[in-house]
Amino acid sequence: MQRWIITACVFAFSFIVNPMYLAGGCVTTPAPAFEYGEAEMVTLLQHVTDAGTYPFSWQGREYELIVVVHEAAGAKPARSATREVSWQARASACGTRTFQQSAAACMDTSELLSEGEATLRVKEQGAFRTLIDAAPVTGSLFMPGLQLGYGELVLHSGAPALHLDLMQSGQTNEFTLVQVVSDGGADPTQAVSLGAR
């Protein structure tokens, strides 16, 4: 009988004085806010254009890439997280699949739809020859996190085939060209497939 009373008292005490209750487990905290907006992301796109050319070499040849990019017409940046922070109305019937156990944490992201033009040139006999001239490109600027820091700009063109991947890191506004995949445009012998360096 005495053991039963002690067990009941311990259970009642632990139920009343729950550590989660004392630690604020029953209190909801407001979702953290993004520290940047659409204007800052558009400014980053402008820095890509302002950089002028992105020189690189592949298989012993010198190339340069010229990118002119801006926010896609009529596009609004989509911000998302598992807590559904968004600048766009989202459908209530969205599906997500994961093949591993999800963590309780979420990742806040922003994406700005982008479009523009890209020119790819190769250096031959001391002068640059144009392989792809002002090909229309579309893609997006992706920013993970609540603060403006690391970002990735991915652009594609269908014909001629061109894929560009530029990354921005830290608090600088400079982007680094990390990947170029091209069918060479008018000159297929000049196909480029430069991966991350």
Q: How confident is the model at residue 86 (pLDDT cuts 50, 70, 90)?
A: very low
What domain range includes position 131?
31-87+105-194
What local confidence, expressed as pLDDT, does residue 82 receive? 41
Contact 93, 74 (CB under 8 A): no
> Using CA atoms, how far apart are residues 57 and 69, in angstroms rounded to an integer?
22
| CA dist., res. 137 & res. 114, Å (int) | 8
Does residue 71 form part of some domain? yes
Average pLDDT, the chain: 76
Q: Which of 146, 149, 148 is nearest to 32 (CA)?
A: 146
Q: What are the beta bridge partners of residue 66? A: 53, 119
Q: Residue 187 domain-assigned?
A: yes
- Residue 172 belongs to some domain of the structure: yes
Into how many domains does the chain fold? 1
Separation CA 143–CA 79 (nearest Å) = 9
Answer with the residue of higher pLDDT: 152 or 160: 152
**Over the stretch 69-79, which tens digit does the pLDDT of each residue have?**
999 987 665 55
pLDDT at 101: 56
Q: Is residue 2 included in any domain, yes or no?
A: no
CA separation for the pair 124, 48 (Å, rounded): 26
Q: Is residue 22 part of a domain?
A: no
pTM summary value: 0.67
Tell me whether residue 118 is in a domain: yes
189 DSSP 8-state letter:
G
**Domain-located, residue 57:** yes
Position 20 in a domain: no
